Structure 1
Amino acid sequence: MFLIALAVAPGIAVCLFIYSLNKYGKESMRHLVIAFILGMAATLPALLVQLMAEDVRTEPWRHSIVSYIWYAFAVVALSEEGSKFLVLRLYAYPKRDFREPFDGVVYGVMIGMGFATVENIEYVRQFGLETGVSRFFLAIPAHAAFAVLMGYLVGRAKFERGRSFGLLVKGLLVAVLFHGSFDFFLFVQQNREITHYLSTGMLSFGAFATFYIAVRLAMRALRMHQAMKEEAAEADAGSTGEESNQPINYKQSENDG
């Protein structure tokens, strides 16, 4: 029971933290719970793709650099982030309570943490306490960062009509890029020839650097939008004489990338 709690708690904690940041115009709790559950279900198509890919990764190609790149980016990262993206785009995006870009972050994190929770349960079940603790400090925050980056761009896509398609594609690709890079540095440590020239410490540093950059960018996106929300709320309160609980009127500059 303790191991299950260890597997589930981090994802729930991240969801609550992100939800608490949205002070204006909160989303329906029922919709968020469904998004979390759909994120859990999204592990199934991703797993199916990865199982099919295993049949292709035969020796000796299996342990080549090209194989690791293909598996990390085109198989694992694309199948996992793609599954989460489809839930975000098809379920959350059309919702009426998806009223501002930050709602993309909230829904994205709910979906991402649902996905990560299933992964966590399976890893802890197979490998025990040590794996659960290590994922608590690295894998879960990484998944959260990928979800924030994707969710922020998908959120912008809904409100920047002329750039919607490009931002949707960018949201998916950014998540795949960081996820694939993170996994690549971990996967390649399985090759003894590579670790003969590059220590596992150096490769682990590559994974950590990817994680660090993704988290920094995710936190930057959160800070930028929180500042916009607070500025808009203060302006609204100044004009009405009382605090507003409505979502901000978001309008993005055409020159902002």
Structure 2
Amino acid sequence: MHQGVAAVCKLPPLRFHLQFKVAQCSAIRYDFLMLIYIALGIAFVVPLLFLFLVRKFDLFATGRYAVNVVTLIWGVIAYLLAVQVNSTAIELGWATRSQVIRVIAPIAEELLKSLILIYLVQRADFNYIVDGAIYGFGAGIGFAIIENYEYVMGHQEIALTIAVARVFSTNLVHATGSGLIGTVLAYRRGDRSWVGWLFLLFGYAFSMSFHMGFNTMVNAGGFLIVAIAFGAVGVGLIWYAIRRGLKTQKEWVGEKLTEADRATKSETKALTKIEDLPREILAPVEKQFGSDKAKLVQKMMLRQAEMGIKRKLLDSTPNEGKRREIELLIEDIKKDVKTMRDQIGPYCMMLVRQVYLEQDIKIWDAIGARIAQSSTGQVGGGLWDRTGERIKSSKAQEEQP
């Protein structure tokens, strides 16, 4: 495309052709620039959209947007540092360009991206695997965005193709690597035994190997569909890690969130079924009291869940200073929950509790109905009827000569 533009612009400036040729050059140049702008837009917006979608998996909403912005910025910094490391390795003759792409770059880049995660996972406001996966994904996306810019501007003649190919492959590989490392760092925080260390080492090794495999395949001229498949597998791994983390968090909430935190059993039960919260709890509240109250109820219940998660984290935090920080956060959450309860009001809270109590009553009513349906009239239902019949049958057989 560059050659085409240059050829047109170098035509002899004949007077009667001048106006037409200038217009033609301008039109071609305008189209060329538009393609680059579109490519840059794709390279910037689509990765952020992926991060936004991954955040949707965080049903307890423990991951903070502000922290994700920090991880994005760190991803950019990690890229700039990685460029220096990779360039130095080639300039000093430590490795060839091919070796850097296939081995050194994946190791250096995953280590650099994870530095922010090592810091975040030590903080009292960090929760568990879900936070680690989302923050790690953010660091990878930040790294990928600035790398996209370099590739698009360095290959302007195929800028659009580069942008589309990268956002669905390389970008997701970067996000997967740091997301998995964030996951294992979070797991290690909760398990300080040798198993936790082993899990951490495996996570780093797997992320680097996954990255190496992708780079080797691309460097060898692999098909684009294979590169995209790598990205899809990466997203699947992050999704699985978050789902496992959510399952554990629900167990923690059910175990640690008690009436001492002014959380009734029905509220705790609702939070252990967080997927049903919009349909089972918020919909009736919105219908009866409006959307503002429903949003406030949701916010209150999510804060309750975070309180239960942090109480569980106290069990795996031996450092007294860190324990005190977590305890202070729990106290702040309790104050927030109390304030929100007052804003919600007693009548709305009664509805919230009644919804789940009614569900329990319906379940037991259904069980009772099934028992009564199978019964022949004896109190206790069909189970006892059948037991009595078997005893009678056994006695009759014994009495036979």
With the length of structure 2 as denominator, give the TM-score of the two structures.
Answer: 0.51
Counterpart for residue 175 of structure 1: 207
Cα displacement (A) at 1:38: 1.0
Cα displacement (A) at 1:134: 0.8
Counterpart for residue 224 of structure 1: 244
Going from structure 1 to structure 2, the CA distance change for 1:71 and 1:205 (only over 3 Å counts) comes to: farther
Counterpart for residue 8 of structure 1: 44
Cα displacement (A) at 1:124: 1.6
Matched ranges for 1:79-228 at <5 A? 79-90=108-119, 92-127=120-155, 128-163=159-194, 164-189=196-221, 200-201=222-223, 210-211=230-231, 213-228=233-248
Going from structure 1 to structure 2, the CA distance change for 1:180 and 1:225 (only over 3 Å counts) comes to: same
Amino acid of the structure 1 residue aligned with 2:85: V
Counterpart for residue 45 of structure 1: 81
Overall identity of the aligned pairs, in %: 22
Q: Is contact 1:28–1:97 with CA below 8 Å preserved after alignment?
A: no
Q: Is contact 1:18–1:106 with CA below 8 Å preserved after alignment?
A: yes
Cα displacement (A) at 1:100: 1.2
Amino acid of the structure 1 residue aligned with 2:214: F
Q: Is contact 1:43–1:80 with CA below 8 Å preserved after alignment?
A: yes
Matched ranges for 1:21-40 at <5 A? 21-40=57-76
Cα displacement (A) at 1:73: 4.5
Matched, 1:19 2:44: no
Q: Is contact 1:39–1:113 with CA below 8 Å preserved after alignment?
A: yes
Unaligned runs of 5+ in 2: 1-36, 272-300, 317-401
- Superposition RMSD in Å: 3.0
Going from structure 1 to structure 2, the CA distance change for 1:22 and 1:124 (only over 3 Å counts) comes to: same
Secondary structure (helix, strand or coil) at the match of 2:220 reads helix
CA distance in structure 2 between the aligned counterparts of 1:213 and 1:28, rounded to whole angstroms: 26
Counterpart for residue 193 of structure 1: none
Going from structure 1 to structure 2, the CA distance change for 1:138 and 1:56 (only over 3 Å counts) comes to: same
CA distance in structure 2 between the aligned counterparts of 1:185 and 1:56, rounded to whole angstroms: 26
Cα displacement (A) at 1:173: 1.6
- Higher gyration radius (CA): 2
Unaligned runs of 5+ in 1: 190-199, 253-257
CA distance in structure 1 between the aligned counterparts of 2:197 and 2:62, rounded to whole angstroms: 26
Going from structure 1 to structure 2, the CA distance change for 1:131 and 1:179 (only over 3 Å counts) comes to: same
CA distance in structure 2 between the aligned counterparts of 1:4 and 1:207, rounded to whole angstroms: 20
Cα shift readout 1:5-31 (whole Å, capped 9, x = no counterpart): 211112211221122221225233222
Select the structure with the greater relative contact order (CA < 8 A; seq sep ≥ 6): 1
Going from structure 1 to structure 2, the CA distance change for 1:27 and 1:212 (only over 3 Å counts) comes to: closer
CA distance in structure 2 between the aligned counterparts of 1:121 and 1:98, rounded to whole angstroms: 31
